[in-house]
Amino acid sequence: MNNAKKYLLGLLALITVFSTVLPVQAAETKNNTKSAAVTAPIIFEGDDLSFSDATGEVFAKGNVKIQKDQTLIQTEELRGNTKESTVWVDGSANLTQPGVNLVGTGVEYNYKIRSGLMNQAKGKVGHEFVAAHNISMTSEELVLHDGTITRCPAKVPDYHISADKIEVWPGDKMIAYNAKFWIKDKMIFSIPKYQKSIKENARSESDFPQLGYTSKDGAYIIQHLEYPVSNDTAAFVNLAYYTKSDFKPNFGLKNSNGNYSMSLSQGYFRDDDDNWIKKEPELRVNFGEKIGQSPFNYSVGAVYGKWVDNYKTSWHQDYSIYFSRDPIEINHTTKLYLGTGFEWVQESYNKSTQEIFRYDAVVTKEFAPRFSSWVGYHYYDKEMNLFDYDVPDLNKQLDVGFHYKIDKMNAITFNQSYDMENHQIFDQDYTWNRDLHCWQVDITYRAKRGELKWLLTTKQW
Decide the pairing of beta strands 424-436 and 439-446: antiparallel
pLDDT at 10 over 50: no
Residues contacting residue 149 through CB under 8 Å, at least 6 positions apart: 128, 129, 130, 160, 161, 163, 166, 168, 174, 176
A 10 A CB-CB count for 148 gives 19
ω before 281 within 30° of 0 (cis)?
yes
Give just the sign of the alpha carbon dihedral 210, 215, 219, 220: negative
What span, in angstroms and rounded, lies between the C-alpha atoms of 412 and 160?
Answer: 29
Q: What are phi and psi of 7, to 5 degrees?
A: -65, -45
**pLDDT range class, residue 1, cuts 50, 70, 90:** very low
Decide the pairing of beta strands 313-325 and 371-380: unpaired
Residues contacting residue 422 through CB under 8 Å, at least 6 positions apart: none
Average pLDDT of every residue of the chain: 88
Q: What is the pLDDT of residue 99?
A: 87
For residue range 297-340, list pLDDT tens digits in order: 999 999 999 999 999 999 999 999 999 999 999 999 999 999 99
pLDDT at 174 over 70: yes
Q: Quick one: average pLDDT of 409-429?
A: 97
Q: What is the pLDDT of residue 29?
A: 36
What span, in angstroms and rounded, lies between the C-alpha atoms of 412 and 456?
Answer: 16
| Residues 450, 456, 460, 461, Cα dihedral to 10° | 100
Q: What is the pLDDT of residue 221?
A: 96
Of 397, 357, 406, which is closest to residue 375 (Cα–Cα)? 397
Note the pTM of the prediction, 2 decimals.
Answer: 0.80
What span, in angstroms and rounded, lies between the C-alpha atoms of 134 and 230?
Answer: 25
Residues contacting residue 373 through CB under 8 Å, at least 6 positions apart: 364, 365, 367, 400, 401, 402, 403
H-only helix segments in 187-331: none
Q: What is the pLDDT of residue 31?
A: 40
**DSSP E strand stretches across 126-232:** 128-137, 142-150, 159-169, 173-183, 186-197, 210-214, 218-228
Element (H, E) at 364: strand 352-368
Q: Note whether 135 and 147 are within 8 A (CB).
A: yes
Residue type, 4: A
**pLDDT range class, residue 461, cuts 50, 70, 90:** low
CA 122-125-126 angle, 5° bins: 150
**pLDDT range class, residue 129, cuts 50, 70, 90:** very high
Residues contacting residue 93 through CB under 8 Å, at least 6 positions apart: 73, 74, 75, 78, 103, 104, 105, 107, 118
For residue range 340-359, list pLDDT tens digits in order: 999 999 999 999 999 999 99
What span, in angstroms and rounded, lies between the C-alpha atoms of 40 and 33?
Answer: 10
Grouping H, G, I as helix, E, B as strand and the rest as coil, residue 295 is coil
For residue range 252-276, list pLDDT tens digits in order: 999 988 789 999 999 999 999 999 9
What span, in angstroms and rounded, lies between the C-alpha atoms of 50 and 46?
Answer: 10
- Measured between its terminal Cα atoms, the distance across the chain in Å is 48
Residues contacting residue 186 through CB under 8 Å, at least 6 positions apart: none
**pLDDT range class, residue 16, cuts 50, 70, 90:** very low
Give just the sign of the alpha carbon dihedral 136, 142, 143, 147: positive
Could you tell me the CA-to-CA distances from 266 to 35, 240, 310 in Å, in that order?
A: 62, 14, 16
Element (H, E) at 270: strand 260-270
Q: What is the pLDDT of residue 172?
A: 85
Kindly write down the DSSP assignment for every residue of 97-126, as one continuous string. ETTEEEEEEEEEEETTTTEEEEEEEEEEET
Give just the sign of the alpha carbon dihedral 14, 16, 22, 27: positive
For residue range 145-163, list pLDDT tens digits in order: 999 999 898 888 999 999 9
Q: Note whether 261 and 252 are within 8 A (CB).
A: no
